[in-house]
Amino acid sequence: MPRAPGAPEGEGHVLALVTDVQAGKSAVYVWDAARLGEGPLARALLPHASPRTFHGVFLPAHGG
């Protein structure tokens, strides 16, 4: 995901959906695309395990 509109190639963030099948939980991790080796910048825990999918999952709005 680009850091900003028009940002140079490689200047942005990498997002990944990670599921722990044994724990039944999922999270979205965010890395700085230029500093992947430094580990994730953030982790957003999901209130459920995300089903396996190729394209994505649409969820209802939560708390809003």
Distance, CA of 2 to CA of 30 (rounded, Å): 12
13 annotated among ligand-binding-site residues: no
CA distance 54 to 40: 22
Q: Are the C-beta atoms of 16 and 26 separated by less than 8 Å?
A: no
Residue stretches of the annotated binding site for Fe cation: 55
Q: Residues marked as binding? A: 55
